[in-house]
Structure 1
Amino acid sequence: MRSKMRKLPIAAVLSAILLTACDNNSSQTQNPALTTDTPLAVIWNGSKSSGVEIANWGAQTQLEDKSVKVSYQSDHYRPSVKFHPEKPWDWSKFDEFNLAVDIKNLSNESIQVYLSLTDEAGVKEDMEITGSRARSLNRTANLAAGEQGTYFSIIKGKFNDTNAGVREKPYPWKTDEEMFVTRFGKKLDLSRITEVALFVRGNLHDKQIEVSNLRLRKNPEYDDSYLLGLADEFGQNAKQDFPIKVSSVEELKQVANKELAELAQGGLMANRSKYGGWKDGPKLKATGYFRTEKIDGRWWMVDPEGHIFFSHGPANVRMANLTTLTGVDFKDDSVRYIDPSRVTPEDSMGIVEVSDEVRKTRYIASDLRNDMFNWLPSYDNPMAKHYSYRREVHKGPLTSGETFSFYRANLERRYGENFEETWQQVTLDRMNNWGFTSFGNWVDPAFYPNEQVPYFANGWIIGDFKTLKSEHDVWAPLPDPFDPEFVRRAKITIDVIAEEIKGSPWCAGIFVDNEKSWGLPEGTVEQKYGVILATLTVNNADSPAKTFFTDYLKGKYGDIKKLNSAWNFKAENWASIEQGVHLEAPFSTEAVADLSYMLEALSDRYFKVVHDTLAEALPNHLYMGARMANFGMPKETIKASVKYSDVLSFNIYEEGVQPEEWGFLTEFDLPVAIGEFHIGSTTDTGVFHAGLVQAHDHKDRAQMYLDYITSVAAHPNMVGAHWFQYIDSPLTGRAFDGEPYNVGFVSSTDIPYPEMVDAIKSFMSTVYEKRFKGEFDAPAYKK
């Protein structure tokens, strides 16, 4: 386990927050190591290892006697070094075991290394259309510049079998080694392991590591208390110290009062217009609303007064989705009722109150969850107002249950009875003082009337319409945009947005929906067109989209024999197509072309419905697209989004906007916004998972932030980027899906991370001048 930062004295904490960065070179404590190095099996241990082939995929390797040096070049998106056995490894005979590897970072920067294991059913990396499905396990770890040590991933055992409702659990035993943390993955066939890979993705800088001693080891004895008493009364890690940890309500108030005094002396950065644009820059046409314009080859937003505008700020500035499950539930089913006409999804709800009558039916639904907390308020405690209820859960040991918001409780401790109003003003003051120009997506609508900071409105199209399910769904199935009920629900949602905005010029744009599972941009046919293949299997009577697809095929081929010939298929008649068919590999060229057309038609219909509904209700505001993630941005969907969006939006969780990977955006003469990105750290925060992109510590986190946002400003299409999110996730996992990430600009006690504040101010103080003059420009974008 990495060394824990000691807690600074209160005076140092206050100074660090408001004046300068924390001293990360202070003395550290160490946990005693537990030797686990007796291997169950040696996988690879140098050039003399027999029966293992080393392959590189976009990486450069130099084989040594007992190690391999791996160079990851920044002009490759996902360079990898892979270890392949002559025949599949059989690890099924081992019960409690982990895979360990010794790694040294030879780079001048930290490196985030991904570990993946693949069984025999895994997809070939050459992306051949084979029809096989990916079966892999994906983990990750961060190494500081020059750091070396042993890194391990638990492959099998009760640690993996324990569903604690938190995306990553604390170390189950004491060790100085580093544990790869959870990313994603499927349950592997441990009798047929065909690949172990170490890779990076989206690097902005060349990186190099040295790898040795890849082996399997028996897990040590578990610490029986590793999941007990994790959170203290403030929701902080009760078992670790770190620089901004507080130990009393008095200390928390002291920190708050010191910051409030500092913020009172601040205001807008120099050279900012009323709306946060570049007051001293070129004066463009003022329309009274935000718009976009291309100037000297670079896209910009333009504020309502005609000033150049670069949108940067935090997303998810709200207290929704910050609760954590307490392990308590209620036998009274009325608490789980969900209004089918609602327009707000469960993870965007504020506090859901539970009546005293319902609380009488209280019971412990999960001892494991309930025992994570050293303190939870009794129902007659004033802090009980911060209890809530979750009626739906995306993943975890519970499907519903009581929740608690430590963040809200800490705000009340900091600011008193009127904590919500004070929090809103403090947040606005921070936005201006730090130099941010806008809120990102999912800002609390309570901020909409503020007229101090521009915002992006948002809405979800939810309801009882048909959906399109596939095995590649991430958050939820796709809506069926051909269903008239989807069209009706889109209008309901957008009418609500219009009522909230009230035509305000402070609304910079509108996001609708988020990270839909359209399909992978690259991969097998099943990975790219899984939603279409799955829809083809259902009956036309149950799916408007399937009816559209069938009509398309009938119109194109006419005779079923022509379809069979083109697809190498054996459908009896069109009636069998209507009833549902399973199209499987190998796929003909014509079949793939038809799948591609159907995905584009599906995407086109979705974006057209949203665009047309917005244009009718909110004609003066920008449609910002659907915030596509890398698991849902096939070229067909991007093409449709380009057709209907004013600004394209992508959520890019990498080191930055790598020119070689994202240069394709220059093919579209359209502005682009980053809907989400973040970077986190575990070594000096007390949390168990840094997030999707990881830094070594907060000094490194601040530098990685600067690298990322600079890469955004360098791209000629980019008009802004929004950090996800404003506040750290709960230590014990957010109720929706267990995310416990250090991804906030402020902690769960509402204390800003000083290194991040300094970095934000540094970048935002000069962003307009530097971007306009082309000082950020990357050679890859220059003609």
Structure 2
Amino acid sequence: MLTFISVVFFSCKKETTQNEVWSSKSDILFLDFEKEDINNNFIDIKGSHKIVKNNRNHALEISFKKDEKITGVKLTPKNNFKLNKSKKYSLVFDAKSLGDETTFLTVYAENGNGERVRRITNIDTGKFKSYFFELTSNKTDINSGLRDTPKAWETEATHMKISGLLYNMDFSEIAGIDFFRLEGLKDKTILVDNIRIVESPERDPNFLKGIVDKFGQNAKRDFPIKVHSDEELKKIADVELKSLAEYTLMSDRSQYGGWKDGPKLDATGYFRKEKVDGKWALIDPEGYLYFSIGLANVRMANTTTYTGIDYTDEKLYHRDPEDVTPEDSKGIIEIPTETMKTAHVVNKLRNDMFLELPKIDDALANHYSYRRESHFGPIEHGQTYSFYRANLERRYGETSKNSFFDKWLEVTENRMRNWGFTSFGNWIDPAFYHRNNLPYFANGWIIGDFQKVYSGSDYWGPMPDPFDPEFERRVIKSIDVVSKEVENNPWCMGVFVDNERSWGNESSTKAHYGLVLDGLSKGKDSYLKQQFMTILKTKHKTIGNLNKAWKTNIASWKELEKGVDYKKQNEFPEGMVADFSVMLTAFATKYFKTVHDILEDKMPNYMYMGCRFAVWGITKEVRESAAKYVDVFSYNHYKEGIGTKYWKFLEEIDMPTIIGEFHMGAPDSGLFHSGLVHAADQKDRANMWADYANSAIDNPYFVGVHWFQYLDSPLTGRAHDGENYNVGFVSNTDIPYPPMIKKAKEVNSNLYTRRFGKKIKK
């Protein structure tokens, strides 16, 4: 049994290590680790801590274990720490990473209502540095439309970044502070000292004004590859073009990127899968062993950002109900000149961010577009602008309409091959499909007016009801479009259908079976409910038998058919959970079978690559159902690499698997957010990319690993949801990050010998 004592709070400062992060504001020292009994306030989670001597004082040493779902330490005082409700505060601490490598860290702060905010940063090596974040989100930040903003006041302390979304929470009481790592690739240790609550300074009222220059770059900060003029941008492009013209394909590659120096297996003329000497592999159309390593989202669809302008022409809002492409996957939508004349400011906060936007008669005005809906954010629809496209035109010129785009296609392919990548990832512009220079994956979406089901963790929206006949009709329509785009091209490896669906998760029974609970609450008009009724009647025969198994008192089958709501319940009898499992399996099986059968009918030469599971939204029943129908499992896994504990299930299903998305970002890019995983700088970022890529290459079940994405997010956030991350191999001025390219060539040049060793004889 754990016994907690109150944390001792000090009003004094420890001079030897504490850094003052901003002047003239009161500090309340939360912990300085000088008390001998302080260990009683900590709970280790798959890690360890100890108080150590640091110079003349003490600090908290936290050791994080690799490959654990969560590892770290929880600081939980006996009594909540109360703050002045009329003031705004920031959580601040000093820290450094021990050893030669930096540490990606997650910090949780919990308020008196049990709500938590999560912030992330990279802890540097060497001297102690101060790290901070505001405990209560500012309304301006939420309304900015940015996933996270720059610092609102001057300080040398590192601004920790939001992980998730910005919410306004009451932090007048603090119930706990946690220091964690999530599925780290290596053991890491940090020192933490002087955890304190500091009254936040007055914010600069203009901290978001004029932050974007004409190139879409950070106007208030310099960084290594920043461009200062059109002439400089074109000069950089000319130097790269000359270099790319002299490259040759890596000598061990087949024309499709397979291992020419390895064994030659059966050639079918299309990509396929095969297990070779205990390792899963893809086989290219010529029969060579193949591993898919590349970059995803190579397209213009996510390059636009909201300008704070809208138009009065309501025809822009119209969507064709038969459209198969979601709004965020649309390319540039041209806006008629007459419509552009009706432009008016609808969000001054955003419009004031831009120092210079083209006038409607400017040569670069063709890079304006329109977004009819957003996933979330303060703007529902409006004018957008693609600085990336505009910079391409600046780099390559325009001899005919959109000729810069044709040059971009050529340069992008040459880069991929020069850097040693064997394929594109998901979501590439269909203009690449028939150039026959680099293998790719096609993509389909299932959207439409079919019935929906909610899992309770519906980040991207509800699930489709796969038993609704409209669902099958929409799958047919979508795959038909994809089939016509691909046209039986052998350079296409397979098809991804959907992305990061909310299947539920195994954090609790309620979260696990959210789709079933929602289905049971529906009435007889629900196709899913009808299927559930058939399953339950077939198994239990009578309502009495069902009540006995479920420990319920449902009056009749008719009452159950009307809908029973167990979504507020947290504990469920064993018999009920067993039936939940059967119903969830039926749901997932119908989904995957429907998609598989239609793909098999319309595109029989291509692999079904699955729906790109998110690690936060997958369950055992869903995995087992998918395994019957997909050719290759696909996961988006935003961590530091591929460990062993989480992926243990691969031994059970024995399926080839591909990473559809991962990334790392760094603060020296000029962007305001580094991404979902943080590095110290571009060199550290490149090393982290290599560690992740190699961890997948070394795993016998993985047949590919795809980085998300080719280019950085817009500085002011992609229009879809405000993501403003340093996630590109190239910047928004289309300049490659040198450390990333150097490391990519290094890893990719050894790809096949690392994966398969010496030549294998069959």
Counterpart AA for 2:144:
A
Q: Partner of 1:693 in structure 2?
A: 677
Structure 1 residues 774 and 719: alpha-carbon distance in aligned structure 2, compared to 1, 3 A threshold: farther
Q: Partner of 1:516 in structure 2?
A: 501
Cα deviation 1:304-355 (Å, max 9, x = unaligned): 0000101011000111111000000112221111111101110111111222
Asked if the contact 1:330/1:359 (under 8 Å) is kept, the reply is yes
Q: Partner of 1:762 in structure 2?
A: 746
Q: Partner of 1:246 in structure 2?
A: 227
In the alignment, does 2:461 pair up with 1:459? no
Structure 1 residues 48 and 368: alpha-carbon distance in aligned structure 2, compared to 1, 3 A threshold: farther
1:471 to 452, 456, 460: 456
Counterpart Cα distance in 2 of 1:623 and 1:688: 37
Q: Partner of 1:179 in structure 2?
A: 159
2:554 to 568, 571, 582: 571
Counterpart Cα distance in 2 of 1:382 and 1:713: 46
Q: Residue 142 of structure 1: SS of its match in structure 2?
A: strand
Residue 238 (structure 1) shift: 0.3
Structure 1 residues 77 and 46: alpha-carbon distance in aligned structure 2, compared to 1, 3 A threshold: farther
Asked if the contact 1:512/1:626 (under 8 Å) is kept, the reply is yes
In the alignment, does 2:48 pair up with 1:60? yes
Q: Partner of 1:359 in structure 2?
A: 340
In the alignment, does 2:466 pair up with 1:481? yes
Counterpart Cα distance in 2 of 1:50 and 1:206: 24
Structure 1 residues 774 and 649: alpha-carbon distance in aligned structure 2, compared to 1, 3 A threshold: farther
Counterpart AA for 2:164:
F
Counterpart AA for 1:631:
W
Residue 89 (structure 1) shift: 3.9
In the alignment, does 2:146 pair up with 1:154? no
Q: Partner of 1:222 in structure 2?
A: 203
Structure 1 residues 267 and 770: alpha-carbon distance in aligned structure 2, compared to 1, 3 A threshold: same
Asked if the contact 2:76/2:175 (under 8 Å) is kept, the reply is yes
Asked if the contact 1:47/1:67 (under 8 Å) is kept, the reply is no
Q: Partner of 1:662 in structure 2?
A: 647
In the alignment, does 2:381 pair up with 1:400? yes
In the alignment, does 2:447 pair up with 1:447? no
Residue 275 (structure 1) shift: 0.6
Counterpart AA for 2:283:
V
Asked if the contact 2:31/2:193 (under 8 Å) is kept, the reply is no
Counterpart Cα distance in 2 of 1:341 and 1:182: 37
Identical-pair percentage: 47
Q: Partner of 1:681 in structure 2?
A: 666
Gap runs ≥5 in structure 2: 1-18
Counterpart AA for 1:753:
Y
Q: Partner of 2:588 in structure 1?
A: 603
Counterpart AA for 2:357:
L
Residue 717 (structure 1) shift: 0.4
Q: Partner of 1:544 in structure 2?
A: 527
In the alignment, does 2:304 pair up with 1:323? yes
Q: Partner of 1:78 in structure 2?
A: 70
Give TM-score scaled by structure 2 length.
0.93
1:202 to 168, 174, 183: 183
1:634 to 616, 619, 629: 619
Counterpart Cα distance in 2 of 1:280 and 1:573: 68
Asked if the contact 1:62/1:69 (under 8 Å) is kept, the reply is yes
Residue 360 (structure 1) shift: 3.3
In the alignment, does 2:605 pair up with 1:620? yes
Residue 34 (structure 1) shift: 2.4
Counterpart AA for 2:691:
D
Counterpart Cα distance in 2 of 1:51 and 1:505: 62
Counterpart Cα distance in 2 of 1:355 and 1:440: 34
Aligned length: 730
Gap runs ≥5 in structure 1: 1-30, 123-134, 776-783
Residue 101 (structure 1) shift: 1.8
Residue 661 (structure 1) shift: 2.1
Cα deviation 1:368-401 (Å, max 9, x = unaligned): 0100100100001011100000001011111001
Residue 550 (structure 1) shift: 2.3
Residue 99 (structure 1) shift: 1.4
Counterpart Cα distance in 2 of 1:103 and 1:275: 48
Q: Residue 648 of structure 2: SS of its match in structure 1?
A: helix
Residue 215 (structure 1) shift: 2.2
Counterpart AA for 1:178:
T
Residue 666 (structure 1) shift: 2.2
Structure 1 residues 87 and 315: alpha-carbon distance in aligned structure 2, compared to 1, 3 A threshold: same
Cα deviation 1:749-770 (Å, max 9, x = unaligned): 0000011111110011111112
Asked if the contact 1:272/1:278 (under 8 Å) is kept, the reply is yes
Counterpart AA for 2:639:
E
Asked if the contact 2:297/2:428 (under 8 Å) is kept, the reply is yes
Residue 634 (structure 1) shift: 1.2
In the alignment, does 2:256 pair up with 1:281? no
Give TM-score scaled by structure 1 length.
0.90
Q: Residue 104 of structure 1: SS of its match in structure 2?
A: strand
Structure 1 residues 187 and 246: alpha-carbon distance in aligned structure 2, compared to 1, 3 A threshold: closer
Cα deviation 1:35-86 (Å, max 9, x = unaligned): 3762246267454577972001101111347432110011423102001121
Q: Residue 280 of structure 1: SS of its match in structure 2?
A: coil
Higher relative contact order (CA 8 A, sep 6+): 1
Residue 119 (structure 1) shift: 4.7
Counterpart AA for 2:79:
K
Q: Partner of 2:145 in structure 1?
A: 165
Counterpart AA for 1:351:
I
Cα root mean square deviation, aligned: 2.0
Q: Partner of 2:633 in structure 1?
A: 648
Asked if the contact 2:94/2:195 (under 8 Å) is kept, the reply is yes
Q: Residue 532 of structure 2: SS of its match in structure 1?
A: helix
1:433 to 418, 424, 435: 418
Asked if the contact 1:510/1:623 (under 8 Å) is kept, the reply is yes
Counterpart Cα distance in 1 of 2:576 and 2:234: 65
Counterpart AA for 2:647:
W
Counterpart AA for 2:644:
P
Q: Partner of 2:331 in structure 1?
A: 350
Cα deviation 1:682-729 (Å, max 9, x = unaligned): 1x2100111111110011011111111000011000001111000110
Q: Partner of 2:23 in structure 1?
A: 35
Residue 157 (structure 1) shift: 5.2
